Structure 1
Amino acid sequence: MKLHEYQAKSVFADAGIPTPDSQLAESTEEVLSAAESIGYPVAVKAQVHVGGRGKAGGIKLVENDEEAREAADAILGMDLKGYTVGRVLVEGAVDFVDELYVGVTMDRGEGKPVAMVSEKGGVDIESVAEEDPEAIAREYIDPAFGLQPYQARRAVYDAGIDREVAGDVSSVLTTLFSLWDDRDASDTEINPLMVTSSGEVVAADAVMNIDEDALFRQPELAEMEEDSYEDDLERKAGEYGFDYVRLDGDVGIIGNGAGLVMTTLDLVDHYGGEPANFLDVGGGAKADRIANALDMVFSDENVESVVFNIFGGITRGDEVAKGINNALEQFDEIPKPVVVRLAGTNAEEGMEILNADLVQVEQTLEEAVQRAVENAQEASQ
């Protein structure tokens, strides 16, 4: 479960990490009221789960009421990388002299959590890791003992952080790990952690993602779950019980099993397409769940074609085929071309049941993905 910036900052602030004064707003008048209360200059920040908000026009620094009104009118209701902005965070501007990155996540290759620090804050940390990996200092953490003070200090010094703020940065990093550990998080990070002209450190952004399987142990965070949904699609996925992530592409992907869906995403990319989503309907998916999955993918205006990748273990191919037929027969005209690949339990029976007037059937996953990519490319021409 992803927390919004304002939610993550609330958790961070409660743990003692310095954050700017801020208020959430859902209208232009609320933005003006918040800005007056906090005091100019303020930043008006779209609350959506996407990176690069600033470059996309979702963050604006304003100096007065007129600029605040213009920013609110521009950001509220805007489409930001496929998401409609319904709320903004009005936040006191930080007079900074440096921007840092600090974060904690799980390194699955090492099988350990890792604490990270970099002087190159304020930019996409994935790009830094790819282009200049030595710019990120890493400390691997033994889960049995946690992040030790000497490790936090070493990560900060290895990153080249100024000694005047090294102690405060180490403290923030230690707190991030404590939150990661205590709150069943998958990621906790601050980018940027700003160093002010007076030598203080302030979390100008906040990221916190929670393991959904552990929410029963985190009642306070579980209460934030409904508000953490970005739009109707994610809310609908929660209601249906699907594992769903919205992406930027135009090829809708439906599968049963995370590994199967990830393989399909990789193949879409391999054949020159762009995935529009990750949608796992789970094992044992019957006709009604398949129909719900199609309803979700068709509801995404970015989708130009759909590929179904179903392998029958618990799931039966004939049940999947019935679900596809039932869903598509509701339409006078199929909204987007659907390509289906069935394998495993009752796959042959499913192939016979599928209505060839409604779907395109392929025998192999590679052929199905290639056809779906071609369908999307033709639709965009």
Structure 2
Amino acid sequence: MNLHEYQAKELLKRYSVPVQEGIACSTPGEAEEAYRQIHTQYGSKFAVVKAQIHAGGRGKGKIVGKEQRGVAVGKNATEVKDIAQNLLGGTLVTIQTGEAGKVVNKVLVAQDVYYDGPNPVKEFYLSILLDRAKGQNVIMYSTEGGMDIEEVAHNTPEKIFKEWVHPGGPLQPFQARKIAFNLGLSGEANKNCVKFVTSLYNAYSGLDCGMLEINPLFKTSDDKIIAVDCKMNVDDSSLTRHPDVATMRDLAEEDPTEVEAGKFNLNFVKLDGNVGCMVNGAGLAMATMDMIQLSGGSPANFLDVGGSASAKTVEAGFRIILQDPKVKAILINIFGGIVRGDRVAQGIIDAYNSIGDIKIPIIVRLQGTNAEEGKQLLDESGLKVQSAIKLSEAADLVAKAVKA
């Protein structure tokens, strides 16, 4: 589950991670008042207004039809209000959103961290995620922080450092000191960085994060180390341990079909292909998607109905697949172990009759428990459904469908 910047920062503060303070706002009026609060509390000469969407590249992104950037500086309450007015309700297009963009429903009005002090400021990059190849968490960091970290990784990979940590244990003190040293920090800034990295890793572990990225990791002019931006992803499977985090889910940021699938406990991921597929079991689903690709098509989705699917569940999955206008054919590939073939067949029949005239080919392959009964139900239904016994037969039917 992805979190907004303002949500992630609130969670980091629970683990004593210093952050750029700010106030989340839903209206221009709230943004104007937020500036006044920040100016009074922190003495900020200006405020940074940041669009809150689940995508990076906001600083270079633009609101459709306007010149407004996704991150902008307001020098007074009026400017902050105007920026919020331009952002809220607009569609922000960034390098990560694609052309469709994302609608901005909230902005974060944040304090000025570029205040005067005895030392120069500096931006770094730091992230924590699981290195699946090594089976260990890895801290990736660089002296070259900011908006163009992708270019740094591509053009000068030697500037990206990595530190691996066993998931069963904490970040060791010598590792935190090594990170601060490689970032070129000394004195008070070095000490603050060691504390920051240690607390950040505790947050990553304690919140069951899948990814935690700080960009930029900022050294202020008085040598404080703070998180100016934060991108956080929490493992969905851990949310039962974090009910407070689960309430932060923003459904408006997620694909509507995936949200609907979740209501029926369907494992659904929308893809960009032209063949919808409904399968039981993740392994069979992956094999089916490969088969679709090899037959000349492209998977439009990953949909695993699970082992205890009912006719109602199958109908729900069927409806979700049909919502995609790119789908030219649907392949239903069920191996009956726990789930029964006749139950799946009944769900297909119910969905077909409920939806009405379906223009695209439907290919059904049933094997295993009650597969013959399921095939009989489909044959006697009078529906325009093509059945297959072997996976190769299903592949041939898919090939014909996508070439039609």
In the superposition, the TM-score normalised over structure 1's length comes to: 0.77
**Is the CA contact 1:20–1:91 (under 8 Å) kept in the aligned structure 2?**
no
Shift of 1:326: 1.4
Shift of 1:12: 0.9
Q: What is aligned with 1:10?
A: 10
Quick one: which of 295, 298, 321 aligns to 2:345? 321
Q: How does 1:41-80 map to 2 (within 5 A)?
A: 41-48=47-54, 50-54=55-59, 57=62, 59-63=70-74, 64=79, 65-75=81-91
CA distance in 2 between partners of 1:166 and 1:17 (Å) = 15
Shift of 1:319: 1.9
The DSSP-based 3-state class of the residue aligned with 2:210 is: strand
Q: Which amino acid aligns with 1:108?
A: R
The DSSP-based 3-state class of the residue aligned with 1:330 is: helix
Shift of 1:305: 5.2
Residues 201-258 of structure 1, C-alpha deviations (whole Å, 9 max, x = no match): 3323323333333333323323334768635434323322223344556654433223
Larger radius of gyration: 2
Worse overlay, 122-131 or 188-197:
122-131
CA distance in 2 between partners of 1:27 and 1:273 (Å) = 46
**Is the CA contact 2:88–2:105 (under 8 Å) kept in the aligned structure 1?**
no
Q: Is the counterpart of residue 105 in structure 1 residue 123 in structure 2?
A: no
**Is the CA contact 1:193–1:205 (under 8 Å) kept in the aligned structure 2?**
yes
CA 1:31–1:376: 2 relative to 1, 3 Å: farther
CA RMSD of aligned residues (A): 4.1
CA distance in 1 between partners of 2:103 and 2:144 (Å) = 28
CA 1:72–1:86: 2 relative to 1, 3 Å: closer
Q: What is aligned with 1:90?
A: 108
Q: Which amino acid aligns with 2:50?
A: V
Q: Which amino acid aligns with 1:147?
A: L
Q: What is aligned with 1:24?
A: 24
CA 1:275–1:15: 2 relative to 1, 3 Å: farther
Q: Which amino acid aligns with 1:66?
A: D
CA 1:243–1:207: 2 relative to 1, 3 Å: farther
Structure 1: which 5+ residue stretches go unaligned? none
Q: How does 1:1-381 map to 2 (within 5 A)?
A: 1-35=1-35, 37-38=37-38, 40-48=46-54, 50-54=55-59, 57=62, 59-63=70-74, 64=79, 65-75=81-91, 81=98, 85=103, 87-92=105-110, 95=114, 98-122=122-146, 134-157=158-181, 160-164=182-186, 165-196=189-220, 199-225=223-249, 230=254, 232-247=256-271, 252-265=276-289, 276-300=300-324, 306-334=330-358, 338-354=362-378, 357-361=383-387
The DSSP-based 3-state class of the residue aligned with 2:2 is: coil
Q: Which amino acid aligns with 1:137?
A: F
Q: Which amino acid aligns with 2:107?
A: L
Residues 173-209 of structure 1, C-alpha deviations (whole Å, 9 max, x = no match): 3222212222233332223324445544332332333
CA distance in 1 between partners of 2:276 and 2:113 (Å) = 41
CA 1:60–1:155: 2 relative to 1, 3 Å: closer
The DSSP-based 3-state class of the residue aligned with 2:12 is: helix
CA 1:146–1:291: 2 relative to 1, 3 Å: same
Shift of 1:278: 3.6
Residues 79-109 of structure 1, C-alpha deviations (whole Å, 9 max, x = no match): x556753622323265496543322222232
**Is the CA contact 1:298–1:336 (under 8 Å) kept in the aligned structure 2?**
no
Q: Which amino acid aligns with 1:150?
A: F
CA distance in 2 between partners of 1:185 and 1:264 (Å) = 30
The DSSP-based 3-state class of the residue aligned with 1:323 is: helix
In the superposition, the TM-score normalised over structure 2's length comes to: 0.74
Worse overlay, 256-265 or 297-306:
297-306
Q: Which amino acid aligns with 1:107?
A: D
CA distance in 1 between partners of 2:248 and 2:25 (Å) = 17
Structure 2: which 5+ residue stretches go unaligned? 40-45, 64-69, 115-119
